[in-house]
Amino acid sequence: MSTTARCLRTRAGLSGCSSVRATQNPPPRRQWLQRYPITTSAASTSPTSPSSPRTIFSGIQPTGIPHLGNYLGALRQWVKLQDEAGPGDQLIYSIVDLHALTLPQEAEVLREWRRQSFAILLAVGLRAERATVFFQSSGACGVDVDIEYGFLDGVFVEDDAVEAPAKRIMSLKSPDQKMSKSHTDPNSRILLTDDPETIHKKIKVALTDSEPGISYDPDNRPGVSNLLDILSNFDDTSRLSPAELAQEHKDLSLKSLKEHVAQKVAGHLAPVRERYAELMADERGREYLDCVAREGADKAGRNAEKTMKQVKAAIGL
């Protein structure tokens, strides 16, 4: 029985499971040194022709439950890349917990944040049978390559970055600043696990202005414009730009606009919140997370070992 099947068996009774195996690693596609082709993965995708398999890589630090800005700026894009990936494309998503150690961390807090981060990646739609999802600390190859390549110049070639289509989402209380967990007011951000009542409350008290009507003017009406930016990301039917949405809703009151935005956001995040709660609710869900994490670490490790053999050969080890 495959590891994926074992994980899914562990998780029997939980929704959204599948037993499809992930695709095999694509062949090497890039020359880092003239003599040695080394498979690489970048912050997004490795550049290939449209018909060639791609390696897609990205990571997120475990800092607790992501907020709306994290989701629109990164996580939703990860799911989109997964859903649009070709059969030969390789998708690798990491929880970069070693990076989190650049700042002092309490062990118990970091341990819980790691688990929350893993659960939220599955909750937003990443599928363990299609994407490799793993903890950075589960393998040493990343550290090895940093040591062995750190003294060399002119080795790495910049990869193709995939820009998220969403504009930067700003703080609900300080719309001249990006949405962040570091803001002292929890009403400044919407977390992916917030319930509808909390979402409506936070958007209701979002800082706007006293001007009548709705218009899109980020410089002079940053609060209102931020709400329109948020709305444009959840307007799945008309797909209007923030400026077009402002024109469509120009005669609305700010109260009505806030209610409309809150309804759209709450409706979109409801499946994410429910899926996350399901994964974190009991020991069965936690065992499934542990199983998927082990499988992801195994897949990432096998791929990294192949790359490290080429790395060592390229530098004479």
Three-state SS for 214? coil
Distance, CA of 62 to chain centre: 11
Query: What confidence score (pLDDT) does residue 147 get?
Result: 61
pLDDT at res. 21:
31
pLDDT for residue 309: 85
Q: Is the pLDDT of residue 18 over 90?
A: no
Distance (Å, whole) CA 292 – CA 118: 9
Please state which of the ranges 125-129, 155-159, 235-239 shows the lowest mean pLDDT: 155-159
Overall pTM surpassing 0.85 (yes/no):
no
Closest Cα partner for 244 from 203, 211, 221, 215? 215
Within 8 A by CB and 6+ apart from 104, the residues are none
In angstroms, rounded to a whole number, what is the distance separating the alpha carbons of residues 113 and 66?
10
Q: Give the model's pLDDT for residue 165.
A: 64
Model pLDDT for residues 124-148, shown as the tens digit of each residue: 999 999 999 999 988 756 666 666 5
Higher pLDDT, 154 or 163: 163
**Full set of structural domains in the chain with CATH:** 55-165+282-315 (3.40.50.620), 186-281 (1.10.240.10)
pLDDT on residue 248: 96
Q: Are strands 90-95 and 132-135 parallel, antiparallel or unpaired?
A: parallel
Rounded-to-integer distance, Cα 317 and Cα 304, Å: 16
What is the C-alpha separation between 216 and 242, in angstroms, rounded?
7
With vertex at residue 31, the alpha carbon angle to CA 54 and CA 135, rounded to the nearest 5 degrees, is 50
On the 0-12 / 13-18 / 19+ scale of CB atoms within 10 A, 240 is middle
pLDDT tens digits, one per residue of 46-101? 544 556 888 899 999 999 999 999 999 999 999 999 999 999 999 999 999 888 88
Question: Tell me, what amino acid is at 71?
Answer: Y
